[in-house]
Amino acid sequence: MLNFKILNIMKKIISIFFISIILFSGCNFLDEDDKASITNDDLYSTVAGYETLMTAAYSTLREIWGPTPWITLVGTDMYNIGRSTDNAGLYTYDIFSTNTQIRNFYRACYEGIQILNMGLLYNPLPPLDEPVREMYAAELRFLRALYHFWLIEQFGGIVINDQATRSATTSMPRMPLADSYDFVITEMEDVLDQLGNTKGRITQDAARHFLAKAYLTRGWDTNSSSDFNAAKNYANQVITKMGAINLTYERVWDPMEHDNDEVIFAVQYSVASLASRTNGSCQSSLYTPHLGGTETNQKQGADDLLTSWSMLMRYTENDNRYMATFMELLYENYWDYYRVEDKTDLKVRAWYPRIWGATTRAEYDDLEAEFRANHEMADNNLRYFPFVEDEELYRSTYNNDFNQICVKKFDDPNSWQYRGGRASSRNIVLARLAETYYLYAEASIALTEYPTAVNYVQQVLDRPGNLIDPSGAPLPNALAEAVAASGSPEQILEGYLIESSKEFFGEFNGRWAELRRTHMLSFMVHKYSLDVRRLIAGGQAPLNFTNKYNLRPIPNEAIELNDALDPVKDQNPGY
């Protein structure tokens, strides 16, 4: 496990020695500064000094994923615009090359890449044991390749930055997509054997998981069966080593077990490592409506990334993942759910009941009367929002406080309560075993090996505790149903994506990238995004994902500051 207690010291070191960052330049370090009467060479020639640089390298993950990674989440089938409309353009594809969230992600990746480059530049200097030195270099190279891969997922062909320099350079060309993939996969494979197995670092299992995803993505982009087979091979190696899915969903997302056995790789946090409430993660506050001010003693929701009606409709009554993901009852103090064992006498502030199949609020009348008779309400005011299977009615309450069920999956009882801040100290899971199974299944779909794909998805569905009543009907498998019905390739992928949405709801493993790589972005957005459907109903033509929107625009500032980029030739189509 990485020691992030030295994070504050590390940040000070970065501020002294990494003097200036030329935005998006690819090479962004200037000459060494001597403000602390010590040079970079002196500092990083010591083991202790170099360890701070390794910590800085891993900490760059926090700068990519600690803020809301908007462009990996929105503009999909799973989330809707909330009361805040700051990022409405990403939902409705009213996107330009000046978009702030696209620029922030692009910038964070390249800034992280340069710190990784600096770690590699100084790797030969400190007196480390050679196996440790090789492992550190392998971790840095793998992370650097991974950051380039995350950029490829969003932007296609990219600028490859694999050199640290002591002078500002603003002339680095954008590489073709094939060369971009070659760099990423070659780097990942080249260092695989030098990686260790320490949880919290890039391990061989993590490397194989991300290699499976990289090959899978290239396979879809280039229609390469050999890439799909390579993806299966790497995924299978992880599955063979880690074994079956054996933790309950509640256990996987227990806030007291950040690094359980299903987690392959996560961005690491701890309360001790956070200097302030703006240094953590915001994942806990996402997918939650405004729950009033601090006087309501609720967690502070962002109110701008809300669960879509179609997403909620995918769960079935016997699926325990629904209750493990969402918080049906809010107590007078939100965190009493975790802190009070006997909740019998706790007052209730909000309730989100669900009668499966109900299409009107009237169907809840008897249930509501019984609930009110048996519970005491906080402030004598029950915020009551029953779920109805009517999308327009569901969306009609979006401007109300407490307007929809909250997501508890990423809750952090130790977090600061601060709206909009990065207040959580809970790890951000970027790879887990269930996803490895799904990567194998997706590669099998691409190869038209449908029974195999069904089997791997089913193994995840069959995890202990998923079925509320084991004696009842099994959980539906939308992929299996599409295959059994001899559905079209599009329908089979739709079934797969419905299942992946339930398993990975809210996670930062990249829903937008998943839809893009499978060529299902247009289909899923037009069918399941009410935000997009309303625009079309109002007279806007369907979105053209053939000539635009299938990639994000290269940020305008990146092109302006890099004289090797042409504003026309190097911009993605349509922008």
Dihedral of alpha carbons 296, 302, 308, 313, sign = negative
In 271-415, alpha helices (H): 309-313, 321-325, 336-339, 365-374, 391-395
C-beta separation of 350 from 384 below 8 A: yes
pLDDT over 90 (residue 39): no
pLDDT over 60 (residue 419): no
In 402-447, alpha helices (H): 433-446
C-beta separation of 398 from 82 below 8 A: yes
| Three-state secondary-structure class, residue 131 | helix
pLDDT in tens, 275-332: 777 788 999 989 989 998 888 999 887 788 899 999 999 999 999 999 999 999 999 9
C-beta separation of 49 from 43 below 8 A: yes
pTM: 0.93
Q: What is the mean pLDDT of residues 363-379?
A: 96
pLDDT over 90 (residue 59): yes
pLDDT over 90 (residue 166): no
Taking the domains of the chain in order of start, what are their residue ranges? 1-199+556-575, 281-407
pLDDT over 80 (residue 205): yes
CATH number of 1-199+556-575: 1.25.40.390
For residues 90 and 302, what is the distance between their CA atoms, to the nearest angstrom?
16
Beta bridge partners of 79: 307
User: From residue 259, how far is each of 283, 366, 409 by CA, in Å?
Assistant: 16, 43, 15
pLDDT in tens, 15-26: 333 322 333 433
Q: Token match 């590390």: residue? A: 10
Check residue 272 and give its pLDDT. Answer: 81
For residues 547 and 525, what is the distance between their CA atoms, to the nearest angstrom?
16
Other Cβ atoms less than 10 A from the Cβ of 563: the count is 12
